[in-house]
Structure formats: structure tokens, C-alpha cells
Amino acid sequence: QVQLQESGPGLVKPSQTLSLSCTVSGVSLSSGSYYWSWIRQPAGKGLEWIGRIYTIGSTSTGTTNYNPSLKGRVTISADTSKNQFSLKLSSVTAADTAVYFCARDIASRSNWFDPWGQGTLVTVSS
Amino acid sequence: QSVLTQPPSVSGAPGQRVTISCTGSSSNIGAGYAVHWYQQLPGAMPKLLIYGDSIRPSGVPDRFSGSKSGTSASLAITGLQAQDEADYYCQSYDSSLNGPFFGTGTKVTVL
């Protein structure tokens, strides 16, 4: 059974970098079988895909794709030795306050997400 | 921004059938990209409900069904139950935006 768990600071100051990790159990990130995505949801609002990573073997960078609206501020990487992938979002503002989810990204011509982590709330405030 | 439009809310009495529409365009649903649906119970993470337009993952009741036609897709819930009260999101791929995108979301209320 695949499970994902987000972790990281719940409070980030404006202009700083938000950093989160997602620990995966039940499947190896390095198997090359799936993509791994980050998705966020501001309070009371809808879901926004942030980006994803595909890793095969022992690599920390892999193949990445990002939401064009966030490109330039987002970096997703992986630590296959820990079976974790991470999100860094730079120059954050209050608009980046949201619940951040990690999810297994099942790639096809139109990929879908299953399962999801429980999510972690990140608040951007001084 | 969202390229997939859903009604903000739908409601129905227990036992009734409700449908949720997801309207896209020629760069996503109309281009043949599959549509997927998620259920988000209050305070919980989204859960995959339908993938590949109409396929139910193991464990999802057959009261939930998906369909697609042209530039739109629909999720139907039959035999509505109190536990179905949640937010529902459609999701597909958009070729002009080069990535997956979610619908605006629909809140289902059981009267």
C-alpha cells in the first residue's frame, strides 16, 4: 500500500523560501514507475498543480515539469536514499499560503493523482 | 486560473441522483485528454474517485460514474447519501498550458 507524508515548517516569512519534503512508503522512488507531484490548495479555494518529478535509479534531480504560472520559483528534487522528494518555492508571498499536498502521479496521456498525502498547512507571514 | 469550469454547488435529497458538469475546451477535454474526478471530504485530502473518464478505482462504490462528450465531462452520483457531502473536482491535461489542471470544484450538499 503506497502512502505519502508531507513534512516541513508551517510558517515561512515573506520573500523567503518554502521547503517541504514528502516521504513515500510502499514503493521505491527510484523504480521509475511513477511521477511524483506537489499540489496546493489555499483555504476555501481549489486545487493547483505545482509540479512533478520522475526519477529512475539513484539520482536527485530526475525529470521535472512545473506549472508555468510558478516556473522560476519552483524546484522539485528527490533523495532516493530516503525515498523522499522535496519542494522548494522561493520568494514567497501571502498568496502562497496554502495546504500543500504530495501525491503519486500516474502518468499517461492525461495523468492522475493517487494516493495523496494528508497535506500540510504552510502560512506565509512575518 | 482554471481551464475547467464546474458549477459551484449542487444539492439533492437522500436517494436522489445528482450530476456535476466539467466544461473544458479544445485544448483539454475536447482534444481527447482523459478526465479524472476527486472527492474531498471536509478537512481531508482529495481521493481519486474516477480516472480515465469512467473507470472506478477498487473500493469506489458503483453509485459514482463518469462520462465524457465533446468538450465536457460529467460525474453522476446515484442513491445520494449523507456521506457523499463533499467537494468534487474534475482534472485533465491542457496542451496549451502543458500540464494537468483541476476544475473549479463543486460542493455537493445532501438536503
Q: For A51-82, what is each residue's pLDDT tens digit?
A: 999 987 766 668 899 998 997 899 999 998 99
Partner B contacted by A46 (CB < 8 A): yes
Residues B51-61 have pLDDT tens digits of 999 999 999 99
Is pLDDT of B1 > 70? Answer: no
Range with lowest mean pLDDT among B46-50, B82-86, B93-97: B93-97
Residues B19-44 have pLDDT tens digits of 999 999 999 999 999 999 999 999 99
Count CB neighbours of A6 within 10 A.
Answer: 22
- CB within 8 Å: B48 and A114: yes
Of B98, B99, B100, B95, the closest CA to residue B36 belongs to B100
Q: If you count DSSP H runs as helices and E runs as strands, how many of each does chain A have, helices first?
A: 0, 11
- Which residues of chain B from 63 to 102 reach within 8 Å of chain A, CB to CB? 89, 91-93, 97-102
Percent of chain A predicted with pLDDT > 90:
77
Contacts of B38 in chain A (CB under 8 A): 47, 113
